[in-house]
Amino acid sequence: MLHTTGRDLPHRARVRALARRAFFMVFLSFAGVSGLSTLPATAQSYSFSRVQIEGNARIEAATILSYLGIAKGDTVTAAQMNDAYQRLAGSGLFETVDVSPRGGVLVVKVQEYPTINRVSVEGNRRLKDAIFAPLLQSQPRHVYSPTTAELDAAAIVEVYQAQGRIAASVNPRIIRRSDNRVDLVFEVVEGRNVEVERLSFVGNRNYSDGRLRRVLETKQAGILRRLVRADTYTPDRVQFDKQVLTDFYRSRGYVDFRILAVNTELSRERNAFFLTFQVREGQRFKFGEITTTSDLADVDPATFQAVSKIRTGAYYNPAVLENTIARMERHALQQGLNFIQVEPRVTRNDRDMTLDIELVVKRGPRIIIERIDVKGNATTLDRVVRNQFRVVEGDPFNPREIREAAARIRALGFFSSTDVQAREGSAADQVIVDVNVEEVSTGSFTFGGAYSLEQGFGLNLAFSERNFLGRGQNLDMSLVSGVDNASFHFSFAEPNLLGRDLRLGIDANYTQTQQASEFYDTRLISLRPSLQFPTSANGRLTVQAFGDGADMLNVAPGASALIVTEAARGQQIGGGVGFGYTYDSRRTGLNPNAGVLFQMNSDFGGFGADYQYSKTTALLSGQARVMNEAVTLRASFEGGALVAMNGGASRATDRFFMGPSQLRGFAVNGVGPRDTGTASGTYTGDAVGGNFFAVARLEAEFPIGIPEEYGISAGLFFDAGSVWGLDNTAGTAAIDPTAYLRSVVGASIFWKTPIGPLRFNFSHAIAKQSYDVENTFEFTISTEF
């Protein structure tokens, strides 16, 4: 119990007064809080008499005010103030932004992005700066933008990744300079090439992995991995390979072929990929019954059926079907029928694995080509591209013809990319065809060494331009100087003379040989203009005129009497005319595994010289792949005849000489008539050539179990042929012009290298003459059929 005294009363009164005051204040506080919960909130607002901008040097104050969106005297809320700040900061014009109200003044402080003084790429050893320069948007004297710099860094990375360096990284860095300038440096870490260590297939029953690998552009890493770029993993190349693989199967009758997936697995060391194509081949179909029908009164289906090249029983090939449809639609134009389309209707017969094709000739929509626009061609003339179209402005629009024209433009080799699209024109019944191209370099200059079995080693100086002056013309010049020989070659070709499929060619050659044999030299010159035009889908005819000259000089005392007699006739210059015919179905035939090449050339010359002649050569070559396309069989038959027209006699410069490129296993001029006698007590052994020759070459190429990435295969060959016939022997009994058969068997090693396909031949002569000159080993550049 608390006891108080009188002296304590004033003190207790003061305590009670303080307590009442505290209670009242607490009450007011609670009342205030309660009142806030029931009264509406009032947002803070601002009104400025002026806006003060600080820190801007290049950018006008009016530009900053336009981003703010706040005018003098406007009343704005805090949220509107925040929006104004976000607009200014997001403009990309300033490095820092500060917006603060100070009474009736809105102060805006900015720091502008610096100006780029210099842009450089550092750390790039594999690729030159010139490759990146067109890709970079950041440029000197432009305002630096972090966003743009990041985009530029990503563009550089994409270039490296396209070359298989998926671990490449690029870091943009700035170096501060005076006057608010910076140097922009892209620091590159290139990383290593990521190769395709293993390329395999799952689901392929009819074709081996090795055969399918040869189809794809992507290759496995092999012994020459540092030189071959095709074994580098690039996603774009894989996408292209998917289309190539699909075309391979579809062209062989596998209409249900599908690529289910392409699995890419990175190795544990992250330096190689394991690439697996999962495929479903499906069944193989053949062409069944082929019919042509039409409901149009002015169309005779029988005439359209006659131009079809589809054979019942052949394996289905969509390219053959497309070619037949194109032939029919061109036939309609020749008959004066416009807007004709051929629609294929396919009936599938799963029981006998055939596809019946009904080709319906109908009238398509009446759409006219209004215009053909060509873009992107800085060097190539528009007419070079337009010449690939078989239609012009005002012709009926045919989508198939546009696709074929696009393929022909790509085949020119003048452009790295070609995009041909049709869009609606100025009216609903008109279209505009847009052709967008990107040009590539088409010229080359070569200085280096050269080698051939016929001429040996020498120096080579050559210039070639496939698109001369952007006109689509071909220009070639070469100068080859060997140990004993020298030659100059010039050729010019205009492929579309007068805007038509008419090829004008001019060829000029000069050849000088020292010791063409051991006993004489030669000097040869020729000029040959020609015109070439198509006669069919696969055939072309050439007509030509020519002038040539030949001289045999510096005849040694020990030369054959025949050579001495022929050289005494001096320099011979004459002219003539000729024609040539070529039939080539290697790329357009019905069977993708086989093809035929036939060439024939006949010249009638010597007019103006002492010897007029008819000279004819012919070549027939064929190729087929068998045993699921693992083995390639090739056969070639070649021959020639030289016949006098005025009773004269030929010379060595006119006659045929068999080289190792025609009859393997023998040296240059190693077979044929030869002077086996002696002159002045010296054995000449001079090859004098013959008026006739014939040779057959048979070979098979097959894999030998070495992984495909090494590019090595083997082959066996058999050659047989002869050179024979002379107009006279100049009384030399030691020359025998009889046709003696020579034959050779041999083995070959094929090696595909970055410098080209190499071939090593090992041969043994079965039948020969005692005076023939053998060559049991040959090293050549292999040629593709």
Whether residues 274 and 290 fall in one domain:
no
| Distance (Å, whole) CA 733 – CA 578 | 35
Residue ending a domain, choose from 260, 280, 300: 280
Are 473 and 491 within 8 A, CB to CB? no
Judge whether 620 and 637 are in contact, CB under 8 Å. Answer: yes
291, 302 Cβ separation under 8 angstroms: no
Domain boundary among the residues 70, 97, 112 is at 112
Q: Do residues 385 and 310 both lie within one domain? A: no
Answer yes or no: do 297 and 331 share one domain. yes
State residue 160's pLDDT score. Answer: 81
Please tell me the total count of domains within the chain: 6
The reply to whether 223 falls in a domain is yes
pLDDT at 602 (0 to 100): 97
Q: Answer whether 566's CB lies under 8 Å from 652's CB.
A: yes
Q: What is the DSSP string of 184-253?
A: EEEEEE-----EEEEEEEES-SSS-HHHHHHHSS-----TTTTT-STTB--HHHHHHHHHHHHHHHHTTT
Q: Is residue 752 located within the same domain as residue 623? A: yes
- Is residue 744 situated within a structural domain? yes
Distance CA 506, CA 546 (A): 10
Q: What is the pLDDT, as a whole number, of residue 277?
A: 94
Residue 681's pLDDT is: 47
Domain assignment present for 702: yes
Same domain, 136 and 264: no
Query: Is 761 found in the same domain as 619?
Result: yes
Does residue 481 fall inside a structural domain?
A: no
Give how far the C-alpha of residue 481 lies from the chain's centroid of Cα atoms, to the nearest Å: 32
Q: Supply the pLDDT for residue 126.
A: 79
Residue 190 CA, distance from chain mean position: 26
352 and 382 part of one domain:
no
The span from the CA of 474 to the CA of 155, in Å, is 36
Q: What integer pLDDT is reported at residue 64 of this predicted model?
A: 84
In a domain, 429, yes or no: yes
* 92 and 124 fall within a common domain: no
CB 740 within 8 A of CB 717: no
Q: Mean pLDDT in runs of 10 for the chain (785 residues)? A: 37 43 40 36 68 83 84 80 85 83 85 88 84 88 88 88 76 88 90 79 91 85 55 79 93 94 81 88 94 91 90 91 89 88 93 94 91 92 91 88 90 90 91 93 78 62 91 92 82 91 95 74 94 90 96 85 90 95 78 83 94 96 86 95 92 91 90 77 73 96 81 93 92 87 95 81 93 88 63
Last residue of a domain, one of 439, 463, 494: 439
If you write DSSP's letter for every residue of 552-609 in order, what string do you get? EE---TTS-HHHHHHHTT--EEEEEEEEEEEEE-TTTSS-TTEEEEEEEEEEEEEETB
8 Å CB contact between 204 and 279: yes
Q: What pLDDT score does 549 carry?
A: 94
**8 inside domain:** no
CA-based torsion, 51, 53, 58, 59: positive or negative: negative
Is 362 within 8 Å of 339 (Cβ atoms)?
Answer: no
What is the DSSP secondary structure assignment for residue 318, as one 8-state letter? Answer: H
Is 26 a domain residue?
A: no
Q: Indicate if 262 and 325 belong to the same structural domain.
A: no
**pLDDT in the model for residue 159:** 85
392-397 own/partner pairs: CB under 8 Å, 24+ apart: 393/369, 394/368, 394/369, 395/368, 395/369, 396/338, 396/339, 396/364, 396/366, 396/367, 396/368, 396/369, 397/367, 397/368, 397/369, 397/422, 397/431
Given this model, what pLDDT does residue 125 score? 82
Q: What is the CA radius of gyration of the chain?
A: 41
Residues 6+ apart with CB under 8 A from 627: none
Count of beta carbons in the 10 Å neighbourhood of residue 622: 17
Same domain for 257 and 354?
no
Rounded to whole angstroms, the Cα distance separating 408 from 399 reads 14
Q: Both 373 and 356 in a single domain?
A: no
Domain containing residue 656: CATH number: 2.40.160.50
Q: How far apart are the first and last CA of the chain?
A: 126
> 3-class DSSP state for residue 169?
strand
For residues 203 and 260, membership in a common domain is answered with yes
* Structural domain range at position 179: 115-189
CATH number at residue 69: 3.10.20.310
